[in-house]
């Protein structure tokens, strides 16, 4: 039965990749993921946790370190595939944080200091899109206000096509931007900020 469970938990399909974390070991970073951090600070802690509110039961991937450095960004990067154009989505639940309560999607990741980012934030109540170049985050479009509640799940999605990016929240397009800095393929992954404790579930990557 376990091989079937593993197939459902991380499906590498011709049409895409779906990761649910539901067969991984509790308290550990799942295999196939690399942990990193932008702008230093203490090491991030990404681990599998149980959450009965998750869309896919029973486990999620959680970032639980709480270093308050305001420009420190913990990352969990999926080791494969490398993609240029893709639809990437994840369910995000901001759990706690005094400096920030944020979670996001990373794409065209080159290293811990160079990638694109779309994020939601339950403290600022906004969704935003950034270019992170040499560790410096530059907002690519004006942030969009949205009622993002702590301890509530939202579906965050990015559609990347060439130099054009569209950001969706709960299946509604709310933001778009254009940039040519990172024009080649890169990895995809997850992101948090400062002392944000954030849960993620149902990570989906579809090449386009």
For residue 93 the two structure tokens come to 């639940």
pLDDT score at 15: 78
Domain architecture of the chain: domains with CATH: 2-207 (2.60.120.560)
Q: Residue 98's pLDDT is what?
A: 93
Other CB atoms within 10 A of residue 162 CB: 10
Confidence of residue 14 (pLDDT cuts 50, 70, 90): low
- pLDDT bracket for residue 12 (50, 70, 90): very low
Contact 31, 12 (CB under 8 A): no
Q: With beta carbons less than 8 A apart as the criterion, state whether 77 and 109 touch.
A: yes
The verdict on pTM exceeding 0.85 is yes
Residues 106-155 have pLDDT tens digits of: 999 999 999 999 999 999 999 999 999 999 999 999 999 999 999 999 99
Q: Which of 8-12, 22-26, 36-40, 71-75 has the lowest mean pLDDT?
A: 8-12
Cα–Cα dist 192/47, whole Å: 13
Backbone angles phi, psi at 6, to 5 degrees: -65, -35
Averaged pLDDT, 174-180: 97
């Amino acid at each position: 039965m376990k091989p079937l469970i593993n197939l459902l938990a991380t499906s590498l399909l011709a049409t895409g990749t779906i990761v649910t974390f539901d067969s991984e070991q509790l308290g550990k970073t799942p295999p196939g993921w690399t942990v990193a951090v932008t702008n230093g600070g203490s090491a991030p802690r990404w681990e599998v946790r149980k959450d009965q509110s998750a869309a896919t039961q029973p486990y999620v991937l959680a970032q639980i370190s709480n270093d308050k450095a305001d420009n420190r960004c913990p990352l969990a990067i999926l080791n494969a595939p490398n993609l240029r154009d893709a639809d990437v989505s994840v369910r995000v639940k901001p759990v706690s944080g005094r400096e920030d309560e944020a979670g996001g999607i990373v794409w065209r990741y080159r290293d811990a200091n160079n990638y694109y980012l779309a994020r939601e934030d339950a403290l600022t109540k906004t969704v935003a899109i950034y270019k992170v170049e040499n560790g410096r985050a530059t907002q690519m479009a004006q942030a969009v206000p949205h009622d993002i509640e702590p301890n509530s799940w939202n579906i965050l999605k990015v559609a990347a096509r060439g130099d054009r990016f569209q950001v969706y929240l709960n299946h509604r397009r709310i933001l778009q931007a254009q940039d040519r800095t990172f024009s080649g393929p890169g990895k995809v992954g997850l992101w948090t900020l400062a002392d944000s404790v954030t849960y993620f579930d149902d990570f989906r990557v579809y090449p386009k």
